[in-house]
Structure 1
Amino acid sequence: RVAGEDITSDNLALQSVIGLLPDVPAFYDWMNAREYLQFTGELHQLDKKKIKGHIEYLLDMVELTREGNRRIGGYSRGMRQRLGIAQALINQPKVLFMDEPTSALDPVGKREVLDLIKSLKQTATVFMSTHNLNEVEKVCDMVGIVNRGKLVTISSVESLQKKYARSLFEIEFIEDPSPLLKTLQEAPWLAEPEIINRNGTQVVLVKAIDVEHARRELPRLISDSSLTLTRYELVMPSLEDIFVEILNEEKTK
């Protein structure tokens, strides 16, 4: 069920509560944006008197008001994507499906579309299918990973990062951290502490054998050192790192 409606091909009630942005939206290039949105609104059997006001609202949302009377055939790929989002929202859906919404866009176009997707979360549940995991980190609250057609995990981005957190801490101080290094080397729950120079800053790298123990005890060792702490971070993995690790786990099952 989607939005409380059965998933059947002839369920008109379901069609009225979902919106779809395909990977490459198709348009009638001889139409302008206002004509196209009017057309899609009528396909949804919306009130003709109310459609015009809603069209202007959507064009403003996707920043196409000034281009609303321009033929779609002259639109850039980014403009077509934004118009595709507008048509997906014409029926004010409760659930919006978006397939690779930023594919083939330049950096500016990608940023525009991602910012728009963020704003859509206020009014609809958005399902975004994409291979670009950096974008998922920027806009998604929950992540589902599919392997060979099977949903292998679903969780929040934060929970996944905590679960697959690397056992590496990065620590920076105002003073020379060398005096702390010996103390860290003596801790049995730490391994391979070292100091590296990163852009002129000395950074202490510490691998934890027991991450939870390190989270509790490492701050105490830092406090006892009397050094002035400027940065303390447990390095979090990217979604790409997590994706690869999950797929490797699946291979061993």
Structure 2
Amino acid sequence: MNAIETKGLTKRYGTYPVVDNLNLKVAKGSICGFLGKNGAGKTTTIKMLTGLARPDSGTISLSGTVRKYGSSNNSNIGYLPDVPNFYGYMTAREYLNFCGKLYAVEGKKLKARIDGLLKQAGLFNIHKNISAFSRGMKQRLGIAQALINEPDIIFLDEPISALDPVGRNEVMALIRSLRGNITVFFSTHILTDVENTCDHVLILEKGRVLADDTMVDLRQKHAENAALLRLYTPDDGNRFLALAQRQNDLTVESQSPVEFILRADNFYALGKRISFLLTEADIAMERFQAYTPSLDDIFLKVTGGAASE
């Protein structure tokens, strides 16, 4: 079952399509990374999915139910905006108590829910006011409030922006702890966190989906019969590069003076070919292995690499 599904979702500002005929499918219980350059339409998409912006056309289905703009029933979703605001004079417990009551969660059920979320967010023994929290603590509290109503899906818009490495790791650990129980849909510019955390990846560019796949399949599709070769010295690298560039059916991309990405039409014959060339040139090989592109490589390839205007 898909937790999130859209068909033909479109949003224009004037005549410009910020989100253009968007068709998404996100499986229940997965963690989905939503990527794109600035201005790609990520925040607008999330606002439509959460009911904060009206689509011009298309449909949205969350947990199997078609959602209409203006619906008062948001009990099965949670949301953390890109710039969350908190009541700084409250403690984390007071804030979650306030948020829970907005969803009509009361009494012992609310207390148990707050206790569980504070433990999950690593804030159970923190009694100071939110105004004294670090950014990472505030983001973890923000995720906790998005979970207070026990939603099926939570939407997180740039939950790790402006965090230091410690805060980022804490927030990502909290997101990973939700896998399988809640569908997490979050946007970010930090691709390594998506690569290390997400089951599914969506890449948006100018309001259109350029990539929509599992992390495993996305890597396989972009491997392109490639291998990584590492030599021992820059001199070996220069001699190999001069030799390889004379081969019409071999593409070489330098990663460093001693490391190269090699591509050929026949991957299985590539190893024998490189071994032969190195033996003929008396060049020692430190490492030769199948090349798996990083999410950064894939992102730059599918988006063209240039920054949005």
Whichever residue aligns with residue 238 of structure 1, its letter is S
CA–CA separation in structure 2 for the residues paired with 1:123 and 1:23? 23
TM-score (norm. length: structure 1): 0.77
CA–CA separation in structure 1 for the residues paired with 2:205 and 2:184? 21
Higher strand share: 2
CA–CA separation in structure 1 for the residues paired with 2:149 and 2:251? 57
The residue number in structure 1 matching 2:67 is 7
Pairing partner for 1:51 from 80, 96, 110: 110
The residue number in structure 2 matching 1:65 is 124
CA–CA separation in structure 1 for the residues paired with 2:248 and 2:171? 49
In the alignment, is the contact (CA less than 8 A) between 2:80 and 2:157 conserved in 1?
yes
Partner secondary structure for residue 122 of structure 1: coil
In the alignment, is the contact (CA less than 8 A) between 2:250 and 2:263 conserved in 1?
yes
CA positional deviation for 1:246: 1.5
Matched, 1:244 2:244: no
Matched, 1:155 2:209: no
CA–CA separation in structure 2 for the residues paired with 1:191 and 1:170? 12
Superposed CA RMSD: 3.2
CA positional deviation for 1:9: 4.0
CA–CA separation in structure 1 for the residues paired with 2:248 and 2:80? 54
Whichever residue aligns with residue 116 of structure 1, its letter is L
Number of aligned residue pairs: 230
Partner secondary structure for residue 121 of structure 1: coil
In the alignment, is the contact (CA less than 8 A) between 2:96 and 2:148 conserved in 1?
yes
Whichever residue aligns with residue 162 of structure 1, its letter is Q
CA positional deviation for 1:221: 7.1
Higher helix share: 1
CA–CA separation in structure 1 for the residues paired with 2:166 and 2:175? 14
The residue number in structure 2 matching 1:75 is 133
CA positional deviation for 1:239: 2.0
Matched, 1:217 2:273: no
Task: Name which structure has the greater RCO, CA cutoff 8 Å, separation 6+.
Answer: 2
CA–CA separation in structure 1 for the residues paired with 2:253 and 2:130? 59
In the alignment, is the contact (CA less than 8 A) between 1:167 and 1:209 conserved in 2?
yes
The residue number in structure 2 matching 1:38 is 97
The residue number in structure 1 matching 2:175 is 117
Matched, 1:165 2:184: no
In the alignment, is the contact (CA less than 8 A) between 1:166 and 1:236 conserved in 2?
no
Which moves more between the two structures, 149-158 or 53-62?
Answer: 149-158
The residue number in structure 2 matching 1:207 is 262
Partner secondary structure for residue 237 of structure 1: coil
